[in-house]
């Protein structure tokens, strides 16, 4: 069993739809990261969470520490949001457990 | 044992000095990455390399340089042009880009 489970694995949405990607983890964490990886391979860190909720533009990330669950929401999705979204649990300073990623395609 | 090693664990730099952080992997991974983590912030990508002799800038490449002359090695040089270099630097590798990344133990850089 993986320490970090993401769902869904693949997601196709119409432009404008509200999108949710889920992440469950089984380890004790110091922080939970949401990363965005584009087809070229570069990774952008979207959020680092240790509690509550964070919002940046159309992106919202929430975490429930008791339930060991986090969600990434995208409001009013756009084709440029198409990417792989990765949930990563930071256990210690250098130890990360990664989810397998959610490949999102937003169709115009 | 297979893995990623970074050295040194701690590094001190005087202002105006260039320093080089080492990252070596024996996992036979094609892709390698350098990230920076500041207190209370997420990872930020500095540079990545998909294959030997190739590398691409990440979000915060200014003031840094890299080389990828060998598959197993991806050293990062923090130049004097980097105005705020104090941070925790993490190296990672993956079989290929877009696959799970494995991290080294990190190097903490402090400017004196």
Convert the pLDDT of each residue in B86-96 to its tens digit: 998 989 888 87
Task: Provide mean pLDDT across the span A69-94.
Answer: 89
Q: What sign results for the dihedral spanned by CA atoms A75, B35, A92, B11?
A: negative
What's the whole-number average pLDDT of chain B?
87
* pLDDT band per the 50, 70, 90 thresholds, residue A100: confident
In the stretch 28-67 of chain A, residues with CB closer than 8 A to chain B read 31, 33, 35, 37, 39-48
Task: Provide mean pLDDT across the span A74-100.
Answer: 84
Please report the pLDDT score of residue A92 as a whole number: 63
Any chain A CB within 8 A of the CB of B101? yes
Strand, helix or coil for residue A81: helix
Q: Higher-confidence residue: B74 or A29?
A: B74
Q: Cβ separation of A95 and B103 shorter than 8 Å?
A: yes
Predicted confidence (pLDDT) at residue A93 exceeds the cutoff of 60: no
Tell me which residue in A44, A94, A101 faces B103 most closely, judged by beta carbons: A94
Say how far apart CA A12 and CA B108 lie, in whole Å: 40
Measured between beta carbons, which residues in chain B are less than 8 angstroms from residue A98? 100-101
Q: Where are the beta strands (DSSP E) in A1-108?
A: 4-7, 10-14, 19-25, 31-37, 43-49, 52-56, 59-64, 69-74, 83-90, 96-98, 102-107
* pLDDT band per the 50, 70, 90 thresholds, residue A39: low
Q: Higher-confidence residue: A94 or A32?
A: A32
Predicted confidence (pLDDT) at residue A104 exceeds the cutoff of 60: yes
Q: Cβ separation of A41 and B105 shorter than 8 Å?
A: no
User: How close is the nearest chain B Cα to the Cα of A76, in Å?
Assistant: 24
* pLDDT band per the 50, 70, 90 thresholds, residue A60: very high
Please report the pLDDT score of residue A94 as a whole number: 54
Please report the pLDDT score of residue A55 as a whole number: 94
Q: Cβ separation of B45 and A42 shorter than 8 Å?
A: yes
Any chain A CB within 8 A of the CB of B50? yes
User: How close is the nearest chain A Cα to the Cα of B12, in Å?
Assistant: 19
User: How close is the nearest chain B Cα to the Cα of A47, in Å?
Assistant: 6
Tell me which residue in B40, B98, B106 faces A41 most closely, judged by beta carbons: B98
Q: Which residue has the tokens 């105006």?
A: B16
CB neighbour list of residue A57: distance below 8 Å, 6 or more residues apart: none
Q: Cβ separation of A43 and B45 shorter than 8 Å?
A: yes
* pLDDT band per the 50, 70, 90 thresholds, residue B17: confident
User: How close is the nearest chain A Cα to the Cα of B76, in Å?
Assistant: 17
């Amino acid at each position: 069993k993986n320490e970090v489970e993401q769902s869904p694995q693949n997601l196709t949405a119409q432009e404008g739809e509200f999108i949710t990607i889920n992440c469950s983890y089984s380890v004790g964490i110091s922080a939970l990261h949401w990363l965005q990886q584009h087809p070229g391979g570069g990774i952008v860190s979207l959020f680092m969470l240790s509690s509550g909720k964070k919002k940046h533009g159309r992106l919202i990330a929430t975490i429930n520490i008791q339930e060991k669950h986090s969600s990434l929401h995208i409001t009013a999705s756009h084709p440029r949001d198409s990417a792989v979204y990765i949930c990563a649990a930071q256990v210690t300073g250098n130890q990360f457990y990664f989810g397998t990623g959610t490949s999102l395609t937003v169709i115009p | 044992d297979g893995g990623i090693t970074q050295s040194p664990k701690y590094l001190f730099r005087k202002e105006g000095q260039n320093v080089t952080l080492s990252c070596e992997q024996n996992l036979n991974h094609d892709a390698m990455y350098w990230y920076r983590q500041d207190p209370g912030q997420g990872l930020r990508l500095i540079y990545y390399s998909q294959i030997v002799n190739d590398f691409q800038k990440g979000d915060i490449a200014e003031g840094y340089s890299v080389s990828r002359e060998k598959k197993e090695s991806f050293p990062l040089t923090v130049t004097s042009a980097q105005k705020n270099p104090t941070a925790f630097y993490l190296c990672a590798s993956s079989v290929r880009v877009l696959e799970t990344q494995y991290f080294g133990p990190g190097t903490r850089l402090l400017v004196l």
